[in-house]
Structure formats: structure tokens, C-alpha cells
Amino acid sequence: MNTFQEFFSNGTYVLITLKIALGVITSFLAILAWQKARRMSSLFFIIGVLTLYTQIIYNALISFGIINIYETALYGIKIGSIVTELIPLTAFMISLILFLIENKG
């Protein structure tokens, strides 16, 4: 069976399309919120949202076969995947830590 047919037959296309559509809306709202952000915790939250969208796009491009990953691996995991998975989580973690520090009292 053709990999293109397999891709459409298992519902992956619908899931990726929904992720991209919701990611576009969320990223647009994050960019609008960036103008109003006054605290560092808010900025890191917005950075987390935007990098999460880049992760969605990166994974979609890999799934569509537009980019081929022949990159170096660290402990068997591709470095691009490590970066796109960990940067959003790190930004959210920093955002929550800053939020707790800002609202200490």
C-alpha cells in the first residue's frame, strides 16, 4: 500500500489539520496578547504557545514527507525532535515559576 494512502486512511490527516487550525488561532491570540503582556510570566507563557505551534508545524512537515530528517541523534532521539518537544515545556515551566514568584504574597 502507498504511504500516501496509509496517511489518509488512518485519520492522521484530520488530526494534523485540526492541530494546525487550532494552532493558528492560538498563535494569533498569543501575538495579540503579547502587546498587553506586562509581566515576565505572561511573556514566557506566550513564548511557550508560539514554540508549541512551531512543534506542530515541524511534526506536520515530517508527517507529510516535506522534510526528511537525517540529522544527528542524541541517545537515539533526533535533535530536532528534542528541541521542538522541550522548548515549549521549558517556557511553560519558567512561566509558572515566575508566576509563583510574582504572586508570592
**Number of domains composing the chain:** 1
- Provide the residue range defining the domain that includes 77: 3-102
Q: Are 37 and 100 in contact (CB under 8 A)?
A: no
Q: Which residue has the higher pLDDT, 3 or 13?
A: 13
CA-angle at 50, arms to 67 and 33, nearest 5°: 155
Q: Report which DSSP code applies to 39.
A: S
Estimate the crossing angle of helix 40-64 against helix 12-36, to 10 degrees: 160
Segment 46-103, tens digit of pLDDT: 999 999 999 999 888 888 888 876 767 778 877 777 888 899 999 999 999 999 999 8
Read off the pTM: 0.79
